[in-house]
């Protein structure tokens, strides 16, 4: 697990809260706030690749949460996509997917994307509902022969449904597999208490300039606080003087990611 402070502020330094350190990752150029999510994604992907490689030490099936991307070289590894934002099949073949009974999979097909690879759909155990209810997509390396891809597809079919979550325990059921949900809980616990971390960050932050009105709460933004942002510790605006209406300190317009 890693932490970081992603910011466009040239004066920002590492943030230390007790034994927790947030090293600075500086984002440059114009439109800095819009670039922050992409800046986080790079280190996040690199860490995921590192952890996946460390876990690939035996002959078991390795299922990674999300597309494979840079992990396609790992043997017996599947990408597990819970939410279907893109369509890879035409209407006729899509009807095959939406008609799958629980515990069945679609035929294996080749992805026509830049990453390539073999893919298939699988419907996890689920009560009757929307056409895509319980549908997940899996993918494996394009370097595999079709017979190897089919073998992995069959292995996923007899393995993954056993780990489907239950609706009364997880609102993202059944796609959010029990091991994935357990890992998420473990990582959240290792992050520490959010309220204590927030309090420590506030104590380490420089005091706001005179004439600055600050709000306590959610996401970072400038300008007048809307109903959704009213209460942000990172929102501030100069109320008096020649600089009226401008942000009082770029240091407050950084986003903390853990």
What letter does residue 160 receive in the DSSP assignment?
G
pLDDT of residue 224: 40
pLDDT of residue 242: 42
Nearest to 25 by CA among 55, 53, 51, 4: 4
Residue with tokens 């020649």: 242
User: By the 8 A CB rule, do 121 and 108 touch?
Assistant: no
Nearest to 22 by CA among 10, 12, 31, 32: 12
Residue extents of the structural domains in the chain: 4-38+205-257, 57-189
pLDDT-derived band at 123, boundaries 50, 70, 90:
very high
Please give the residue that has the higher pLDDT: either 149 or 236: 149
Average pLDDT, the chain: 79
pLDDT-derived band at 31, boundaries 50, 70, 90:
low
pLDDT digits (tens, 9 = 90+) for 181-199: 998 899 888 888 888 888 8
- From residue 215, give the alpha-carbon distance in Å to each of 8, 55, 111, 218, 251: 21, 43, 48, 9, 15
- This prediction has a pTM of 0.71
User: Could you give phi then psi for residue 234, rounded to 5 degrees?
Assistant: -105, 5
pLDDT-derived band at 207, boundaries 50, 70, 90:
low
């Amino acid at each position: 697990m890693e932490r970081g402070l992603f910011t466009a502020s040239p004066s920002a330094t590492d943030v230390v809260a007790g034994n927790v350190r947030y090293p600075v990752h500086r984002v440059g150029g114009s439109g800095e706030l819009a670039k922050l999510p992409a800046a986080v994604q790079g280190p996040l992907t690199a860490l995921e690749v590192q952890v996946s490689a460390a876990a690939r030490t035996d002959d078991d099936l390795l299922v990674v949460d999300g597309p494979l991307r840079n992990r396609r070289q790992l043997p017996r590894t599947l990408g597990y996509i819970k939410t279907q934002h893109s369509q890879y099949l035409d209407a006729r073949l899509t009807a095959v997917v939406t008609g799958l009974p629980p515990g069945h999979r679609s035929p294996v097909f080749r992805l026509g994307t830049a990453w390539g690879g073999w893919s298939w759909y699988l419907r996890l155990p689920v009560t009757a509902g929307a056409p895509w209810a319980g549908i997940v997509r899996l993918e494996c390396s394009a370097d595999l022969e079709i017979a190897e891809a089919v073998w992995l597809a069959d292995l996923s079919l007899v393995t993954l449904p056993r780990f489907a979550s239950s609706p009364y325990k997880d609102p993202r059921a059944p796609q959010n597999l029990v091991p994935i949900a357990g890992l998420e809980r473990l990582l959240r616990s290792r992050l520490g208490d959010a309220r204590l971390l927030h309090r420590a960050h506030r104590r380490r932050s420089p005091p706001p300039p005179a004439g600055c009105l600050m709000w306590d709460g959610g996401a970072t933004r400038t300008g007048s606080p809307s109903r959704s942002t009213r209460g942000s510790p990172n929102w501030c605006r100069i109320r008096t003087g020649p600089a009226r209406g401008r942000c009082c300190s770029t240091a407050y317009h950084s986003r903390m990611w853990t």
